[in-house]
Structure 1
Amino acid sequence: MLVGRTPVARYVLAPDLDAKHGPRPYLHPVRTLAGTPVTDALPDDHVWHLGASLAVQDVNGTNLWGGRTYVRDVGYTWRGDHGRIVHTGWEHRTPDRLDHRLHWCDPGGTVLLTERRTLTAAAVSGHPDAWRLTIDSTLTAPAGRDVVLGSPATNGRPGGAGYGGFFWRALAAEPPEVFAGARHGEEAVNGGDQPWVALRGRAPEGGAYTLVFSGLGPGDRWFVRTTMYPGVCVAFAFAQTATIPAGTSRHGRYQVVVADGTLAPDTAAAVATPAG
Protein backbone atom coordinates (compact mmCIF):
# COMPACT_ATOMS: atom_id res chain seq x y z
CA MET A 1 0.00 0.00 0.00
CA LEU A 2 1.14 3.54 -0.76
CA VAL A 3 0.62 7.00 0.69
CA GLY A 4 1.36 9.20 -2.27
CA ARG A 5 4.41 7.47 -3.71
CA THR A 6 5.70 6.16 -0.38
CA PRO A 7 5.33 2.42 0.36
CA VAL A 8 3.87 2.00 3.85
CA ALA A 9 2.44 -1.54 4.07
CA ARG A 10 2.33 -4.92 2.39
CA TYR A 11 -0.90 -6.92 2.52
CA VAL A 12 -0.24 -10.67 2.60
CA LEU A 13 -3.43 -12.07 1.12
CA ALA A 14 -3.00 -15.86 1.27
CA PRO A 15 -0.09 -16.87 3.52
CA ASP A 16 1.22 -20.42 3.16
CA LEU A 17 1.13 -21.32 6.85
CA ASP A 18 0.48 -24.38 8.97
CA ALA A 19 -3.15 -24.40 10.14
CA LYS A 20 -2.01 -24.13 13.77
CA HIS A 21 -0.70 -20.62 13.04
CA GLY A 22 -4.16 -19.34 12.08
CA PRO A 23 -3.73 -18.60 8.34
CA ARG A 24 -5.37 -15.28 7.47
CA PRO A 25 -4.66 -12.10 5.50
CA TYR A 26 -2.41 -9.67 7.35
CA LEU A 27 -0.41 -6.47 6.95
CA HIS A 28 3.37 -6.80 7.28
CA PRO A 29 5.64 -5.02 7.16
CA VAL A 30 3.92 -1.78 8.07
CA ARG A 31 6.26 1.22 8.07
CA THR A 32 6.31 4.88 8.98
CA LEU A 33 6.70 7.40 6.19
CA ALA A 34 10.44 7.48 6.98
CA GLY A 35 10.62 3.70 6.55
CA THR A 36 10.76 2.54 10.19
CA PRO A 37 9.12 -0.92 10.57
CA VAL A 38 6.35 -1.03 13.20
CA THR A 39 4.96 -4.58 12.85
CA ASP A 40 6.33 -8.02 13.60
CA ALA A 41 5.19 -11.33 12.08
CA LEU A 42 5.89 -14.96 12.95
CA PRO A 43 7.94 -14.00 16.05
CA ASP A 44 9.54 -16.85 17.99
CA ASP A 45 7.51 -16.12 21.14
CA HIS A 46 4.10 -16.28 19.38
CA VAL A 47 4.53 -17.55 15.82
CA TRP A 48 0.83 -16.99 15.08
CA HIS A 49 1.12 -13.22 15.64
CA LEU A 50 0.89 -11.90 12.08
CA GLY A 51 1.55 -8.17 11.81
CA ALA A 52 -1.81 -6.38 11.80
CA SER A 53 -4.80 -8.65 11.26
CA LEU A 54 -8.29 -9.65 12.33
CA ALA A 55 -8.21 -12.85 14.37
CA VAL A 56 -10.39 -14.37 17.11
CA GLN A 57 -9.50 -17.39 19.23
CA ASP A 58 -13.04 -18.75 19.63
CA VAL A 59 -15.60 -18.45 16.82
CA ASN A 60 -18.33 -20.98 17.62
CA GLY A 61 -15.57 -23.25 18.94
CA THR A 62 -13.12 -22.72 16.06
CA ASN A 63 -9.70 -21.20 16.76
CA LEU A 64 -9.12 -18.43 14.21
CA TRP A 65 -6.23 -16.87 16.14
CA GLY A 66 -3.65 -19.63 16.04
CA GLY A 67 -1.63 -21.33 18.75
CA ARG A 68 -3.02 -23.37 21.59
CA THR A 69 -6.68 -23.01 22.59
CA TYR A 70 -7.55 -22.06 26.15
CA VAL A 71 -9.86 -24.74 27.60
CA ARG A 72 -11.80 -24.03 30.78
CA ASP A 73 -10.40 -25.88 33.83
CA VAL A 74 -7.59 -27.31 31.68
CA GLY A 75 -5.54 -24.40 30.31
CA TYR A 76 -3.86 -23.96 26.95
CA THR A 77 -4.14 -27.11 24.86
CA TRP A 78 -3.22 -28.07 21.31
CA ARG A 79 -6.43 -29.17 19.58
CA GLY A 80 -7.50 -29.86 16.03
CA ASP A 81 -9.76 -26.81 16.04
CA HIS A 82 -7.86 -24.37 13.83
CA GLY A 83 -9.73 -22.76 10.96
CA ARG A 84 -8.61 -20.17 8.44
CA ILE A 85 -9.74 -16.82 7.06
CA VAL A 86 -9.60 -16.82 3.27
CA HIS A 87 -9.86 -14.21 0.53
CA THR A 88 -12.70 -14.96 -1.89
CA GLY A 89 -12.71 -11.99 -4.27
CA TRP A 90 -11.80 -8.38 -4.94
CA GLU A 91 -14.25 -5.49 -5.07
CA HIS A 92 -11.64 -2.74 -5.56
CA ARG A 93 -7.86 -2.63 -5.64
CA THR A 94 -5.65 0.48 -5.92
CA PRO A 95 -2.35 1.35 -4.20
CA ASP A 96 -4.11 3.24 -1.40
CA ARG A 97 -7.35 1.22 -1.11
CA LEU A 98 -8.07 -2.51 -0.98
CA ASP A 99 -11.64 -3.82 -0.80
CA HIS A 100 -12.34 -7.54 -0.75
CA ARG A 101 -14.56 -10.39 0.41
CA LEU A 102 -13.51 -13.13 2.83
CA HIS A 103 -14.78 -16.32 4.47
CA TRP A 104 -14.06 -17.28 8.08
CA CYS A 105 -13.97 -21.09 7.96
CA ASP A 106 -13.90 -23.94 10.48
CA PRO A 107 -11.35 -26.80 10.20
CA GLY A 108 -13.56 -28.63 7.71
CA GLY A 109 -14.03 -25.59 5.46
CA THR A 110 -17.58 -24.74 6.54
CA VAL A 111 -18.14 -20.98 6.41
CA LEU A 112 -18.75 -19.56 9.89
CA LEU A 113 -18.83 -15.88 8.86
CA THR A 114 -18.58 -13.87 5.67
CA GLU A 115 -16.69 -10.60 5.70
CA ARG A 116 -16.40 -7.48 3.57
CA ARG A 117 -13.14 -5.66 4.37
CA THR A 118 -11.77 -2.36 3.11
CA LEU A 119 -8.28 -1.07 3.89
CA THR A 120 -7.22 2.50 3.11
CA ALA A 121 -3.97 4.39 3.60
CA ALA A 122 -4.00 8.19 3.70
CA ALA A 123 -1.95 11.16 4.82
CA VAL A 124 -2.88 12.90 8.08
CA SER A 125 -3.68 16.55 7.48
CA GLY A 126 -1.35 18.88 9.36
CA HIS A 127 1.04 16.07 10.33
CA PRO A 128 3.58 15.48 7.54
CA ASP A 129 5.32 12.69 9.48
CA ALA A 130 2.19 10.56 9.94
CA TRP A 131 -0.27 8.50 7.92
CA ARG A 132 -3.54 6.79 8.82
CA LEU A 133 -4.57 3.19 8.20
CA THR A 134 -8.32 2.56 8.23
CA ILE A 135 -9.84 -0.92 8.18
CA ASP A 136 -13.59 -1.22 7.72
CA SER A 137 -14.86 -4.72 8.43
CA THR A 138 -18.38 -6.13 8.27
CA LEU A 139 -18.82 -9.65 9.63
CA THR A 140 -22.09 -11.39 8.73
CA ALA A 141 -23.52 -14.51 10.34
CA PRO A 142 -25.35 -17.11 8.23
CA ALA A 143 -29.13 -16.93 8.11
CA GLY A 144 -29.66 -20.05 10.19
CA ARG A 145 -27.10 -19.75 12.97
CA ASP A 146 -25.92 -17.31 15.63
CA VAL A 147 -22.15 -16.88 15.82
CA VAL A 148 -20.55 -16.45 19.24
CA LEU A 149 -17.13 -14.80 19.55
CA GLY A 150 -15.05 -15.69 22.60
CA SER A 151 -11.57 -15.36 24.06
CA PRO A 152 -9.34 -17.11 26.59
CA ALA A 153 -10.86 -14.82 29.22
CA THR A 154 -14.43 -15.85 28.40
CA ASN A 155 -13.26 -19.47 28.52
CA GLY A 156 -11.89 -19.07 32.03
CA ARG A 157 -8.38 -17.65 31.78
CA PRO A 158 -7.68 -15.00 34.46
CA GLY A 159 -5.38 -12.00 34.15
CA GLY A 160 -7.12 -9.85 31.55
CA ALA A 161 -6.32 -12.14 28.60
CA GLY A 162 -9.40 -11.19 26.60
CA TYR A 163 -7.61 -10.94 23.27
CA GLY A 164 -9.06 -11.46 19.81
CA GLY A 165 -10.34 -8.92 17.28
CA PHE A 166 -8.24 -6.39 15.38
CA PHE A 167 -4.73 -7.14 16.64
CA TRP A 168 -1.46 -5.34 15.98
CA ARG A 169 1.80 -7.07 16.88
CA ALA A 170 4.30 -4.25 17.16
CA LEU A 171 8.07 -4.36 16.72
CA ALA A 172 10.18 -2.79 19.45
CA ALA A 173 13.77 -3.01 20.65
CA GLU A 174 12.60 -2.69 24.26
CA PRO A 175 9.21 -2.55 26.02
CA PRO A 176 7.29 0.41 24.57
CA GLU A 177 5.24 2.96 26.45
CA VAL A 178 1.45 2.74 26.30
CA PHE A 179 -1.06 5.34 27.40
CA ALA A 180 -4.70 6.29 26.91
CA GLY A 181 -5.67 9.73 28.12
CA ALA A 182 -4.69 9.90 31.79
CA ARG A 183 -3.97 6.16 32.00
CA HIS A 184 -0.37 5.06 31.60
CA GLY A 185 1.11 1.57 31.50
CA GLU A 186 -0.08 -1.90 30.56
CA GLU A 187 -2.05 -2.61 33.74
CA ALA A 188 -3.90 0.71 33.62
CA VAL A 189 -4.80 0.56 29.93
CA ASN A 190 -5.57 -3.15 29.49
CA GLY A 191 -9.32 -3.76 29.57
CA GLY A 192 -10.18 -0.08 29.27
CA ASP A 193 -12.66 1.57 26.92
CA GLN A 194 -10.93 4.89 26.24
CA PRO A 195 -11.52 6.35 22.76
CA TRP A 196 -7.88 5.85 21.78
CA VAL A 197 -4.64 4.16 22.86
CA ALA A 198 -1.11 5.26 21.95
CA LEU A 199 1.99 3.07 21.82
CA ARG A 200 5.38 4.79 21.69
CA GLY A 201 8.36 2.63 20.83
CA ARG A 202 11.68 2.34 19.08
CA ALA A 203 12.41 -0.16 16.32
CA PRO A 204 15.47 -2.43 16.54
CA GLU A 205 17.11 -0.26 13.85
CA GLY A 206 16.70 2.74 16.16
CA GLY A 207 13.82 4.71 14.67
CA ALA A 208 11.31 6.11 17.16
CA TYR A 209 7.62 5.82 16.32
CA THR A 210 4.15 6.36 17.77
CA LEU A 211 1.05 4.33 16.94
CA VAL A 212 -2.35 5.76 17.86
CA PHE A 213 -5.25 3.29 17.78
CA SER A 214 -8.98 4.04 17.76
CA GLY A 215 -12.13 2.17 16.85
CA LEU A 216 -13.74 0.45 19.84
CA GLY A 217 -17.29 -0.61 19.09
CA PRO A 218 -20.09 -1.30 21.59
CA GLY A 219 -18.80 -3.78 24.16
CA ASP A 220 -15.22 -3.76 22.83
CA ARG A 221 -12.23 -3.20 25.12
CA TRP A 222 -8.52 -2.59 24.67
CA PHE A 223 -6.18 -5.53 25.13
CA VAL A 224 -2.58 -4.36 25.46
CA ARG A 225 0.79 -5.93 26.17
CA THR A 226 4.15 -4.22 26.55
CA THR A 227 6.27 -6.46 28.80
CA MET A 228 5.76 -9.99 27.45
CA TYR A 229 5.57 -8.61 23.90
CA PRO A 230 4.38 -5.34 22.29
CA GLY A 231 0.81 -5.52 21.04
CA VAL A 232 -2.54 -3.71 20.94
CA CYS A 233 -5.93 -5.25 20.17
CA VAL A 234 -9.49 -4.02 19.74
CA ALA A 235 -10.86 -6.97 21.71
CA PHE A 236 -14.33 -8.18 20.75
CA ALA A 237 -14.83 -10.45 23.79
CA PHE A 238 -12.56 -9.11 26.50
CA ALA A 239 -14.67 -10.25 29.45
CA GLN A 240 -17.94 -11.46 27.89
CA THR A 241 -18.74 -13.29 24.69
CA ALA A 242 -20.11 -11.28 21.77
CA THR A 243 -22.89 -12.73 19.63
CA ILE A 244 -23.66 -11.95 16.00
CA PRO A 245 -27.30 -13.07 15.65
CA ALA A 246 -28.22 -15.21 12.65
CA GLY A 247 -28.50 -13.19 9.46
CA THR A 248 -27.13 -9.99 10.98
CA SER A 249 -23.82 -8.16 10.76
CA ARG A 250 -21.21 -6.64 13.04
CA HIS A 251 -19.41 -3.59 11.66
CA GLY A 252 -16.11 -2.19 12.89
CA ARG A 253 -13.87 0.66 11.78
CA TYR A 254 -10.33 0.39 13.14
CA GLN A 255 -7.89 3.23 12.63
CA VAL A 256 -4.19 3.45 13.36
CA VAL A 257 -2.11 6.59 12.95
CA VAL A 258 1.48 5.60 12.18
CA ALA A 259 3.85 8.44 13.05
CA ASP A 260 7.58 8.97 13.04
CA GLY A 261 9.00 10.20 16.33
CA THR A 262 7.51 10.44 19.80
CA LEU A 263 4.13 12.17 19.86
CA ALA A 264 3.10 14.10 22.96
CA PRO A 265 -0.19 13.00 24.56
CA ASP A 266 -2.09 16.06 23.31
CA THR A 267 -0.86 15.44 19.76
CA ALA A 268 -1.82 11.76 20.02
CA ALA A 269 -5.30 12.78 21.13
CA ALA A 270 -5.60 15.22 18.23
CA VAL A 271 -4.60 12.75 15.50
CA ALA A 272 -6.76 9.99 17.02
CA THR A 273 -9.94 11.75 15.90
CA PRO A 274 -11.34 9.37 13.28
CA ALA A 275 -11.24 10.64 9.72
CA GLY A 276 -14.47 10.63 7.76
Structure 2
Amino acid sequence: MTDPRLSVDGTPVARYVLTPDLDARHGPRPYLHPVRTLAGTRVTDALPADHVWHLGASLAVQDVAGTNLWGGRTYVRGTGYTWRADHGRIVHTGWTHRAADRLDHQLQWCDPTGGVLLTERRVLTASAVPGHDGAWRLDLTSTLTAPADRDVTLGSPATNGRPGGAGYGGFFWRAVAAEPPEVLTARLTGEEQVNGCAEAWVAMTGRAPEGGTYTLVFSGLGPGDRWFVRTTMYPGVCVAFAFEETATIRTNTSRHGHYRVVVADGRLDRHTAAALTR
Protein backbone atom coordinates (compact mmCIF):
# COMPACT_ATOMS: atom_id res chain seq x y z
CA MET A 1 0.00 0.00 0.00
CA THR A 2 1.39 3.41 -0.99
CA ASP A 3 1.58 5.83 1.92
CA PRO A 4 -0.91 8.66 1.39
CA ARG A 5 0.26 12.27 1.17
CA LEU A 6 -1.27 15.53 2.30
CA SER A 7 -1.03 18.59 0.05
CA VAL A 8 -1.97 22.26 0.27
CA ASP A 9 -3.00 23.83 -3.03
CA GLY A 10 -0.94 21.25 -4.90
CA THR A 11 2.17 21.50 -2.68
CA PRO A 12 3.00 18.22 -0.88
CA VAL A 13 3.48 18.91 2.84
CA ALA A 14 3.33 15.54 4.62
CA ARG A 15 3.53 11.80 4.14
CA TYR A 16 1.34 9.59 6.33
CA VAL A 17 3.12 6.31 7.08
CA LEU A 18 0.08 4.12 7.55
CA THR A 19 1.43 0.64 8.30
CA PRO A 20 5.08 0.92 9.36
CA ASP A 21 7.13 -2.27 9.39
CA LEU A 22 8.78 -1.76 12.78
CA ASP A 23 10.05 -3.77 15.71
CA ALA A 24 7.26 -4.10 18.28
CA ARG A 25 9.47 -2.32 20.80
CA HIS A 26 9.19 0.87 18.73
CA GLY A 27 5.43 1.08 19.23
CA PRO A 28 4.28 0.59 15.59
CA ARG A 29 1.58 3.12 14.70
CA PRO A 30 0.60 5.42 11.86
CA TYR A 31 2.65 8.62 11.81
CA LEU A 32 3.31 11.73 9.74
CA HIS A 33 6.87 12.02 8.36
CA PRO A 34 8.33 13.90 6.75
CA VAL A 35 6.26 17.00 7.41
CA ARG A 36 7.53 20.09 5.59
CA THR A 37 6.91 23.80 5.41
CA LEU A 38 5.57 25.21 2.18
CA ALA A 39 9.15 26.11 1.23
CA GLY A 40 10.23 22.49 1.79
CA THR A 41 11.96 22.64 5.18
CA ARG A 42 11.59 19.34 7.04
CA VAL A 43 10.13 19.81 10.53
CA THR A 44 9.70 16.22 11.81
CA ASP A 45 12.13 13.49 12.75
CA ALA A 46 11.50 9.74 12.83
CA LEU A 47 13.49 6.85 14.31
CA PRO A 48 16.17 9.19 15.74
CA ALA A 49 19.13 7.52 17.40
CA ASP A 50 18.40 9.10 20.80
CA HIS A 51 14.79 7.82 20.94
CA VAL A 52 14.20 5.37 18.10
CA TRP A 53 10.50 5.07 18.96
CA HIS A 54 9.84 8.76 18.26
CA LEU A 55 7.90 8.67 15.00
CA GLY A 56 7.34 12.08 13.42
CA ALA A 57 3.91 13.34 14.47
CA SER A 58 1.70 10.65 15.95
CA LEU A 59 -0.75 9.65 18.66
CA ALA A 60 0.88 7.40 21.25
CA VAL A 61 0.50 6.67 24.98
CA GLN A 62 2.97 4.71 27.08
CA ASP A 63 0.42 3.11 29.40
CA VAL A 64 -2.95 2.11 27.95
CA ALA A 65 -4.46 -0.28 30.50
CA GLY A 66 -0.97 -1.72 31.02
CA THR A 67 0.05 -1.85 27.35
CA ASN A 68 2.94 0.29 26.08
CA LEU A 69 1.87 1.95 22.82
CA TRP A 70 4.60 4.59 22.94
CA GLY A 71 7.59 2.33 22.42
CA GLY A 72 10.85 2.02 24.30
CA ARG A 73 11.22 0.94 27.89
CA THR A 74 8.27 1.10 30.28
CA TYR A 75 8.55 3.13 33.47
CA VAL A 76 7.81 0.86 36.45
CA ARG A 77 7.14 2.40 39.84
CA GLY A 78 9.98 1.66 42.24
CA THR A 79 12.17 0.19 39.49
CA GLY A 80 12.52 2.79 36.74
CA TYR A 81 12.63 2.23 33.00
CA THR A 82 12.51 -1.47 32.19
CA TRP A 83 12.29 -3.48 28.98
CA ARG A 84 9.06 -5.46 29.16
CA ALA A 85 7.09 -7.59 26.71
CA ASP A 86 4.16 -5.17 26.94
CA HIS A 87 4.30 -3.41 23.58
CA GLY A 88 1.16 -3.17 21.50
CA ARG A 89 0.45 -1.49 18.18
CA ILE A 90 -2.02 0.92 16.63
CA VAL A 91 -3.36 -0.39 13.34
CA HIS A 92 -5.29 1.10 10.43
CA THR A 93 -8.48 -0.87 9.74
CA GLY A 94 -10.22 1.05 6.96
CA TRP A 95 -10.74 4.31 5.10
CA THR A 96 -13.77 6.54 5.44
CA HIS A 97 -12.43 9.21 3.09
CA ARG A 98 -9.11 9.79 1.34
CA ALA A 99 -8.15 12.91 -0.60
CA ALA A 100 -5.13 15.15 -1.11
CA ASP A 101 -6.18 17.44 1.71
CA ARG A 102 -8.13 15.05 3.97
CA LEU A 103 -7.49 11.58 5.38
CA ASP A 104 -10.30 9.99 7.40
CA HIS A 105 -9.88 6.46 8.73
CA GLN A 106 -10.58 3.88 11.42
CA LEU A 107 -7.97 2.37 13.75
CA GLN A 108 -7.61 -0.10 16.59
CA TRP A 109 -5.31 0.30 19.60
CA CYS A 110 -4.19 -3.26 20.37
CA ASP A 111 -2.41 -5.06 23.21
CA PRO A 112 0.56 -7.42 22.66
CA THR A 113 -1.76 -10.32 21.78
CA GLY A 114 -3.78 -8.28 19.26
CA GLY A 115 -6.70 -7.73 21.62
CA VAL A 116 -8.49 -4.43 20.99
CA LEU A 117 -8.09 -1.90 23.80
CA LEU A 118 -9.65 1.09 22.04
CA THR A 119 -11.12 1.90 18.65
CA GLU A 120 -10.45 5.24 17.00
CA ARG A 121 -11.74 7.42 14.20
CA ARG A 122 -9.06 9.86 13.05
CA VAL A 123 -9.30 12.71 10.56
CA LEU A 124 -6.28 14.64 9.27
CA THR A 125 -6.64 17.73 7.11
CA ALA A 126 -4.15 20.13 5.55
CA SER A 127 -5.19 23.66 4.59
CA ALA A 128 -3.82 27.09 3.78
CA VAL A 129 -3.71 29.80 6.45
CA PRO A 130 -5.71 32.80 5.26
CA GLY A 131 -3.59 35.92 5.07
CA HIS A 132 -0.26 34.12 5.58
CA ASP A 133 1.37 32.79 2.41
CA GLY A 134 4.24 31.17 4.33
CA ALA A 135 2.17 28.89 6.53
CA TRP A 136 -0.24 25.97 6.39
CA ARG A 137 -2.14 24.16 9.12
CA LEU A 138 -2.59 20.55 10.06
CA ASP A 139 -5.76 19.59 11.90
CA LEU A 140 -6.02 16.17 13.52
CA THR A 141 -9.25 15.10 15.17
CA SER A 142 -9.42 11.86 17.11
CA THR A 143 -12.27 9.99 18.77
CA LEU A 144 -11.07 7.17 21.04
CA THR A 145 -13.81 4.78 22.18
CA ALA A 146 -13.64 2.28 25.01
CA PRO A 147 -15.21 -1.18 24.64
CA ALA A 148 -18.66 -1.97 26.00
CA ASP A 149 -17.37 -4.11 28.86
CA ARG A 150 -14.58 -2.12 30.57
CA ASP A 151 -13.01 1.24 31.33
CA VAL A 152 -9.62 2.02 29.80
CA THR A 153 -7.07 4.01 31.79
CA LEU A 154 -4.35 6.11 30.16
CA GLY A 155 -1.13 6.72 32.06
CA SER A 156 2.39 8.06 31.66
CA PRO A 157 5.81 7.66 33.26
CA ALA A 158 4.83 10.51 35.59
CA THR A 159 1.66 8.78 36.77
CA ASN A 160 3.73 5.62 37.25
CA GLY A 161 6.18 7.40 39.53
CA ARG A 162 8.80 9.13 37.38
CA PRO A 163 9.70 12.63 38.66
CA GLY A 164 10.76 15.61 36.57
CA GLY A 165 7.64 16.44 34.60
CA ALA A 166 7.79 13.36 32.36
CA GLY A 167 4.05 13.18 31.79
CA TYR A 168 4.32 12.50 28.07
CA GLY A 169 1.86 10.55 25.96
CA GLY A 170 -0.82 11.80 23.58
CA PHE A 171 -0.45 13.79 20.35
CA PHE A 172 3.34 14.04 20.05
CA TRP A 173 5.48 15.91 17.54
CA ARG A 174 9.17 15.02 17.33
CA ALA A 175 10.76 18.02 15.66
CA VAL A 176 14.18 18.57 14.11
CA ALA A 177 16.68 21.23 15.15
CA ALA A 178 20.32 21.99 14.39
CA GLU A 179 20.56 23.43 17.90
CA PRO A 180 18.06 23.58 20.79
CA PRO A 181 14.96 25.39 19.53
CA GLU A 182 13.10 28.15 21.32
CA VAL A 183 9.71 27.50 22.87
CA LEU A 184 7.18 30.02 24.14
CA THR A 185 3.52 30.74 24.87
CA ALA A 186 1.62 33.99 25.17
CA ARG A 187 3.12 34.47 28.67
CA LEU A 188 5.93 31.95 29.15
CA THR A 189 9.35 31.32 27.65
CA GLY A 190 11.64 28.30 27.75
CA GLU A 191 11.26 24.59 28.47
CA GLU A 192 11.30 24.95 32.25
CA GLN A 193 8.33 27.34 32.24
CA VAL A 194 6.33 25.82 29.38
CA ASN A 195 6.57 22.12 30.27
CA GLY A 196 3.46 21.15 32.21
CA CYS A 197 1.55 24.36 31.53
CA ALA A 198 -2.00 24.63 30.23
CA GLU A 199 -1.59 27.67 27.98
CA ALA A 200 -3.84 27.94 24.93
CA TRP A 201 -0.94 27.53 22.50
CA VAL A 202 2.76 26.71 22.34
CA ALA A 203 5.17 27.85 19.63
CA MET A 204 8.49 26.19 18.80
CA THR A 205 10.98 27.93 16.53
CA GLY A 206 14.14 26.34 15.21
CA ARG A 207 16.57 25.77 12.39
CA ALA A 208 16.51 22.50 10.49
CA PRO A 209 19.79 20.57 10.08
CA GLU A 210 19.45 20.71 6.27
CA GLY A 211 18.90 24.47 6.43
CA GLY A 212 15.82 26.63 6.72
CA THR A 213 14.10 28.05 9.78
CA TYR A 214 10.59 27.22 10.92
CA THR A 215 7.94 27.93 13.51
CA LEU A 216 5.40 25.39 14.73
CA VAL A 217 2.38 26.67 16.63
CA PHE A 218 0.45 24.01 18.54
CA SER A 219 -3.04 24.27 20.03
CA GLY A 220 -5.75 21.88 21.14
CA LEU A 221 -5.44 21.02 24.82
CA GLY A 222 -8.53 19.21 26.10
CA PRO A 223 -9.85 19.18 29.67
CA GLY A 224 -7.09 17.93 31.97
CA ASP A 225 -4.42 17.95 29.22
CA ARG A 226 -1.05 19.66 29.66
CA TRP A 227 1.84 20.56 27.39
CA PHE A 228 4.87 18.28 27.56
CA VAL A 229 7.83 20.09 26.00
CA ARG A 230 11.50 19.25 25.45
CA THR A 231 14.14 21.47 23.83
CA THR A 232 17.52 20.55 25.34
CA MET A 233 17.44 16.73 25.38
CA TYR A 234 15.59 16.68 22.05
CA PRO A 235 13.04 18.92 20.29
CA GLY A 236 9.47 17.80 20.92
CA VAL A 237 5.99 18.99 21.86
CA CYS A 238 3.14 16.81 23.14
CA VAL A 239 -0.49 17.32 24.08
CA ALA A 240 -0.15 15.12 27.15
CA PHE A 241 -3.24 13.18 28.24
CA ALA A 242 -1.92 12.09 31.66
CA PHE A 243 0.70 14.64 32.68
CA GLU A 244 0.10 14.36 36.42
CA GLU A 245 -2.93 12.10 36.83
CA THR A 246 -4.26 9.16 34.84
CA ALA A 247 -7.16 9.72 32.45
CA THR A 248 -9.95 7.19 32.06
CA ILE A 249 -12.20 6.51 29.08
CA ARG A 250 -15.30 5.00 30.61
CA THR A 251 -17.07 1.93 29.31
CA ASN A 252 -18.68 2.53 25.91
CA THR A 253 -17.81 6.25 25.93
CA SER A 254 -15.35 8.28 23.87
CA ARG A 255 -12.55 10.76 24.33
CA HIS A 256 -12.54 13.51 21.71
CA GLY A 257 -9.50 15.56 20.71
CA HIS A 258 -8.81 18.22 18.10
CA TYR A 259 -5.17 19.21 17.65
CA ARG A 260 -3.93 21.95 15.33
CA VAL A 261 -0.38 22.71 14.23
CA VAL A 262 0.44 25.76 12.12
CA VAL A 263 3.61 25.01 10.14
CA ALA A 264 5.36 28.21 9.07
CA ASP A 265 8.56 29.18 7.34
CA GLY A 266 10.85 31.50 9.29
CA ARG A 267 11.06 32.51 12.93
CA LEU A 268 7.80 34.10 14.03
CA ASP A 269 7.49 36.38 17.05
CA ARG A 270 5.03 35.89 19.89
CA HIS A 271 2.48 38.30 18.43
CA THR A 272 2.43 36.60 15.03
CA ALA A 273 2.26 33.11 16.57
CA ALA A 274 -0.73 34.16 18.66
CA ALA A 275 -2.46 35.60 15.60
CA LEU A 276 -2.03 32.32 13.72
CA THR A 277 -4.01 30.43 16.35
CA ARG A 278 -7.07 32.64 15.90
Give the TM-score normalised by the residue count of structure 1.
Answer: 0.99
- Tell me the distance in 2 between the aligned counterparts of 1:118 and 1:102: 11
Is 1:69 the counterpart of 2:74 in the alignment?
yes
**Among the aligned pairs, what percent are the same residue?**
79
**Aligned: 1:12 with 2:12:** no
- Give the drift of 1:206: 1.8
Aligned partner of 1:141 among 119, 138, 146: 146
Instruction: Please state if 1:253 is matched with 2:222.
Output: no
Describe the superposition over 1:157-191 as per-residue Cα deviations: whole angstroms up to 9, x where unpaired.
Answer: 00000000000000110000000112000000000
Q: Find runs of 4+ consecutive structure 1 residues off by over 3 angstroms.
A: none
Distance in 1 (CA, whole Å) between partners of 2:133 and 2:208 is 20
> Which stretches in structure 1 are left out of the alignment for 5+ residues?
none
Query: How far apart in 1 are the matches of 2:253 and 2:272?
Result: 38
Shift of 1:264: 1.1
- For 2:132, the equivalent position in structure 1 comes to 127
Aligned with 1:109 (options 114, 125, 128):
114
Deviation digits for residues 90-110 of structure 1, max 9, x if unmatched? 000001000000000000000
1:201 pairs with 2:199: no
Distance 2:158 2:34 in 1: 29
Aligned counterparts, 1:21-170, within 5 A: 21-170=26-175
Tell me the TM-score normalized by structure 2: 0.98
Matches of 2:105 and 2:82 in 1, distance apart? 33
The one-letter amino acid of 1:253's match is: H
Q: Within 2, Cα distance between the matches of 1:190 and 1:247?
A: 32
Q: Which amino acid aligns with 1:119?
A: L
Q: Does 1:221 align with 2:226?
A: yes
The amino acid of 1:149's aligned partner reads L
Matched, 1:184 2:166: no
Matching residue's letter, 1:84: R
Distance 1:139 1:126 in 2: 34
User: Cα RMSD over matched residues?
Assistant: 0.4
CA apart distance, 1:37: 0.1
Give aligned pairs, total: 273
